[in-house]
A = this chain, B = another copy of it.
Amino acid sequence: MKNLSTIDGVIITELRQITDERGSVLHMLRCDAPEFIRFGECYFSEVLPGAVKAWKRHRTQTQNFAVPVGRIRIVIYDDRIESISQGQLQVLELGRPDAYLRVRIPSGLSYGFTCISVTPALLANCTDLPHDPTDGELRDADDPAIPYSWTLETGMDSNA
């Protein structure tokens, strides 16, 4: 799974974890990273066990996700009409220590995530543009246009 994306423009990067008996230092994003565009905003999305936050799609904003706490399943769907990977669906699990990854999701892709750990997870996001409520489109978690069922995967009600 690591460093492999089946969707055009998605970049998966292994992040450094500097182990320390007092607690690890966990890299996220530097301004000199090859895929860094610009800094728009940093925020966190807490996800409670079993909860689903899906689907979202941005017109212009790029996401850079990492999961420093807990474990999250992210699903990305390419419904861009002119994409070479149009119709592709990618499922990724993010969490320490084996999958401490940064996932860059360019604009135009649909994505959602769920917490698959028994304790709350924290998804961190460093975007290239600050939050603009007119930039994001929301769809129901059970929207039939996307071939993925959160209900089957989580065993929980997926109404977001």
Contact = CB atoms under 8 A, between A and B. Distances in A.
Nearest to A119: B119
| SS class, residues of chain A in contact with chain B | strand
Q: Considering residues A21, A31, A40, A120, which has the most beta carbons from chain B within 10 angstroms of its beta carbon?
A: A31
B43 A26 contact: yes
Interface string A6-43: 00000000000000011111111111100000111111
B39 A122 contact: no
B124 A42 contact: yes
Nearest to A49: B23
A126 interface: yes
Chain A interface category by residue count? 35 or more
Kindly report how many copies of this chain are found in the complex they form together.
2
A25 B42 CA distance: 11
A131 B46 contact: no
Nearest to A22: B51
Contacts of A23: 45-48, 51, 53, 115, 120-121
A41 B31 CA distance: 6
A46 B68 contact: yes
A1 B108 CA distance: 43
Q: Which 9 A-B pairs have the closest CB atoms?
A: A39-B39, A23-B46, A22-B51, A26-B44, A28-B42, A23-B47, A30-B130, A30-B41, A44-B68
